[in-house]
Amino acid sequence: MNLLNSPRTRPRRLAVVTAAAGLLAALLTAAPAVATPDPGDATTTPQRVSKSEAAETRTAIAKGEIPAPDEIVHSDNIEHLANVPKDALPDLNSDLAFQGKYAFAGNYDGFRIFDISNPRAPKTVSQVLCPGSQNDVSVSGNLLFLSTDSSRSDNSCSSTTQPASEKSSWEGMKVFDISDKKNPKYVAAVETNCGSHTHSLVPHGRNVYIYVSSYSPSPSFPDCQPPHDGISIIKVPRDAPQKAAVVNFAVLFPGDGPDGGGNPGAPTNPGVSKTTGCHDITVLPSKDLAAGACMGDGILMSIKDPEHPKVIDQVQDNVNFAFWHSATFNQTAKKVVFTDELGGGGAATCNAAVGPNRGADGIYDIVGKGDQRKLVFRGYFKIPRHQADTENCVAHNGSLIPVKGRDLMVQAWYQGGVSVWDFTDSTKPKEIGYFERGPLTTDRLTVGGSWSAYYYNGHIYSNDIAKGFDVLKLSDRRTDPARKIRLDQLNVQTQPDYFD
Q: Are 464 and 446 in contact (CB under 8 A)?
A: no
Strands across the sheet containing 2-3:
2-3, 123-129, 110-115, 102-107, 93-99, 489-490
Contacts of 392 (CB under 8 A, 6+ apart): 39, 343, 345, 346, 347, 348, 414, 415, 445, 446, 447, 448, 449
Residue 20: the pLDDT is: 36
Residue type, 353: A
This prediction's pTM = 0.93
Q: Are 326 and 394 in contact (CB under 8 A)?
A: no
Tally of CA atoms within 13 A in the half-sphere of 327 that contains its CB: 32
Q: How far apart are CA 147 and CA 232, in angstroms?
A: 13
Q: How far apart are CA 29 and CA 5, in angstroms?
A: 47
Residue 297: the pLDDT is: 98
Other beta carbons within 10 angstroms of residue 488's beta carbon come to 9
Residue 39: the pLDDT is: 62
Residue 44: the pLDDT is: 67
Residue 248: the pLDDT is: 98
Any idea what DSSP says for residue 488?
Answer: S
Residue 8: the pLDDT is: 30
Please state whether 31 falls in left (phi above 0), alpha (psi between -120 and 50) or beta: beta
H or E element: which one contains 474?
strand 468-474
Beta strands 2-3 and 324-329: pairing type? unpaired
Please state whether 160 falls in left (phi above 0), alpha (psi between -120 and 50) or beta: beta
Q: How far apart are CA 91 and CA 88, in angstroms?
A: 9
Q: How far apart are CA 339 and CA 243, in angstroms?
A: 35
Q: DSSP assignment of 336-390, as one string?
A: EEEEE-GGGGSSB--STTT-SSSSSEEEEEEESSGGG-EEEEEEEE--SS---TT
**Sign of the torsion formed by the C-alpha atoms of 69, 72, 74 and 80:** positive
Q: By 3-state DSSP, what share of the chain in percent is helix, strand and coil, each rounded to 5? A: 10, 40, 50
Bridge partners for 339 per DSSP: 326, 361
Listed in order, strand segments (DSSP E) in 77-169 are 78-84, 93-99, 102-107, 110-115, 123-129, 134-140, 143-152
Integer distance in angstroms from the first to the last C-alpha of the chain? 38
Buried b (16+ CB within 10 A) or exposed e, 129-163: bbbbbbbbbbbbebbbbbbbbbbbeebebebeeee
Per-residue pLDDT of the chain (500 residues; tens, 9 = 90+): 444 543 333 333 333 333 333 343 344 333 333 334 566 454 468 889 899 989 999 999 999 999 999 899 999 999 999 999 999 999 999 999 999 999 999 999 999 999 999 999 999 999 999 999 999 999 999 999 999 999 999 999 999 999 999 999 999 999 999 999 999 999 999 999 999 999 999 999 999 999 999 999 999 999 999 999 999 999 999 999 999 999 999 999 998 777 678 999 999 999 999 999 999 999 999 999 999 999 999 999 999 999 999 999 999 999 999 999 999 999 999 999 999 999 999 999 999 999 999 999 999 999 999 999 999 999 999 999 999 999 999 999 999 999 999 999 999 999 999 999 999 999 999 999 999 999 999 999 999 999 999 999 999 999 999 999 999 999 999 999 999 999 999 999 999 999 98
Q: Are 427 and 394 in contact (CB under 8 A)?
A: no
Cis peptide before 481 (omega within 30 of 0): no
Nearest to 139 by CA among 177, 189, 192: 177
Residue 46: the pLDDT is: 85
Nearest to 460 by CA among 4, 116, 110: 116
Radius of gyration over alpha carbons of the chain, in Å? 21
Residue 33: the pLDDT is: 30
Strands across the sheet containing 72-74:
72-74, 430-437, 418-422, 408-412, 398-400
